[in-house]
């Protein structure tokens, strides 16, 4: 059946910058947003329309959206947690994209995090379900959604068993069903980084088996324990061509949550790592990885510290026109490793023990290579794999 349809949102401007210094100039944020717009990313969250009392990093959101240069074909989304925030954002639509109104019931599996993050208990969240469903019925909605935060556990209550979060989904599903509205979308958020690939796989399999009408899946995974990319891979293997997988990531993995007890350690999947994996799996993203990496480097300069991705340091797996010079000097530092974009000037002065140029017949065998090196040697005989 193939892989699911991918809908990706870049969260560096929102989930990323909200955990960084509130003193970052708006002009620097505009430069970063403009750089991201040129990478081929299809959807970028520009920030949050929230009270600066609670999130001072978003205090200049109005100036940001009036100062950046929108790129045709890019959706610019935003986060708003109440009607006042939505009203503020509507004044800038366009360039912001119209908000798609969807009816959904939501709950957090961790009562402690619900109170820390939304100032509401889990019971209060659940008490709001009937009203949300009533609104959907009044609007004539035929489809609804449901979502759970801290699906697999949290730092305050520990692990949430499969049966427990599936029971919570089932309670929501039955309420929608009783109202005559089909559930077609489901969301799973993981602010405290408790996702594990085998658990993500089991949850998705359970959902598809129990509720075949659900074809639209959202995974908002944090990478606090370093396995979120593996969890996305698990999702790609479970879902198929009839499904849609929505996911969010952040350049350099820059992200965090002041309410989860880990701050910047509650990072997200680095967008450059995610896009690289998708491309290597044959899932075309339309993203220029080299421009994306330069945006990561720009972000590192703006926030004043290294970010957490891997591809921004080692570079993508090089194609034939990007293969390394075989007689390049010793590469030891991260700055020298940037030669994959900056060229030989990145390693000027590095130690080089080679007395003669290094050549190899293997370079002529590289996919897409068109011209053999002048000193290439004849390839030795290669062993063949045989069936036993």
- Averages of pLDDT over runs of 10 residues in the chain (388 residues) are 92 92 94 97 92 83 93 91 79 86 89 85 92 93 95 93 96 96 96 95 97 96 96 96 96 88 88 97 95 97 96 93 90 94 92 89 66 40 36
Residue 319 lies in a domain: no
Nearest to 8 by CA among 46, 44, 47: 44
Residues 360, 237: one domain? no
The answer to whether the peptide bond before residue 340 is cis (omega within 30 degrees of 0) is no
Structural domain ending residue among the three candidates 286, 314, 342: 314
CA distances from 302 to 59, 257, 295 (A): 17, 19, 10
Which CATH number fits the domain that encloses residue 157? Answer: 3.20.20.70
| The pLDDT of residue 381 | 40
What is residue 262's DSSP assignment? -
* 260 labelled catalytic: no
Residue 212 lies in a domain: yes
Residues 303, 354: one domain? no
Nearest to 46 by CA among 56, 60, 217: 60
| The pLDDT of residue 240 | 94
Residues 303, 338: one domain? no
Residues 375, 227: one domain? no
Residues 346, 224: one domain? no
What is residue 38's DSSP assignment? T
Nearest to 192 by CA among 234, 230, 227, 225: 225
| The pLDDT of residue 362 | 82
What is residue 346's DSSP assignment? G
What is the number of structural domains in the chain? 2
| The pLDDT of residue 367 | 58
Structural domain ending residue among the three candidates 314, 338, 366: 314
| The pLDDT of residue 229 | 97
CB 101 within 8 Å of CB 140: no
| The pLDDT of residue 199 | 97
Exactly one of 50, 228, 235, 257 is catalytic; name it: 257
Structural domain ending residue among the three candidates 314, 344, 379: 314
| The pLDDT of residue 321 | 84
Residue 271: other Cβ atoms inside 10 A: 34
Domain extent for 149? 5-314
CB 71 within 8 Å of CB 37: yes
Residue 296 lies in a domain: yes
Element (H, E) at 6: strand 5-10
């Amino acid at each position: 059946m193939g892989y699911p349809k991918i809908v990706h949102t870049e969260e560096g401007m929102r989930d990323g910058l909200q955990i960084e210094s509130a003193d970052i100039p708006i002009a620097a944020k505009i430069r970063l947003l403009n750089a991201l717009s040129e990478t081929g990313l299809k959807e970028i969250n520009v920030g949050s329309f929230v009270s600066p009392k609670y999130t001072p990093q978003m205090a200049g959101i109005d100036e940001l959206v009036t100062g950046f240069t929108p790129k045709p074909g890019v959706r610019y989304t935003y986060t708003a947690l109440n009607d006042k925030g939505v009203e503020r954002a509507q004044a800038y639509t366009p360039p912001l994209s119209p908000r798609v109104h969807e009816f959904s019931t939501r709950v957090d599996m961790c009562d402690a995090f619900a109170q820390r993050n939304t100032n509401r208990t889990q019971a209060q969240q659940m008490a709001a379900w009937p009203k949300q469903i009533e609104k959907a019925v009044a609007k004539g909605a035929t489809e609804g959604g449901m979502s759970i935060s801290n699906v697999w556990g949290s730092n305050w209550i520990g692990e949430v068993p499969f049966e427990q979060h599936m029971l919570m989904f089932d309670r929501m599903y039955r309420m929608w069903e009783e109202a005559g509205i089909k559930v077609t979308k489901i969301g799973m958020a993981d602010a405290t980084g408790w996702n594990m690939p085998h658990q993500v796989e089991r949850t998705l399999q359970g959902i598809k088996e129990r509720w075949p009408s659900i074809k639209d899946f959202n995974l908002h995974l944090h990478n606090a324990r370093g396995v979120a990319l593996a969890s996305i891979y698990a999702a790609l293997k479970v879902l198929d061509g009839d499904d849609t997988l929505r996911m969010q990531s952040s350049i350099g993995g820059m992200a965090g949550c002041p309410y989860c007890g880990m701050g910047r350690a509650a990072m997200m999947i680095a967008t450059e790592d995610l896009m690289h994996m998708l491309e290597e799996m044959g899932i075309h993203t339309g993203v220029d990885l080299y421009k994306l990496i330069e945006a990561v480097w720009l972000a590192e300069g703006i926030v004043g510290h290294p970010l957490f991705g891997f591809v921004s340091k080692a570079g993508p797996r090089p194609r034939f026109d990007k293969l390394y010079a075989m007689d390049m000097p010793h590469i030891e530092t991260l700055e020298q490793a940037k030669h994959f974009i900056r060229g030989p000037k990145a390693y000027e002065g590095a130690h080089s023990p080679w007395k003669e140029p290094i050549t190899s017949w293997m370079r002529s065998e590289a996919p897409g290579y068109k011209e053999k090196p002048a000193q290439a040697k004849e390839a030795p005989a290669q062993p063949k794999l045989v069936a036993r």
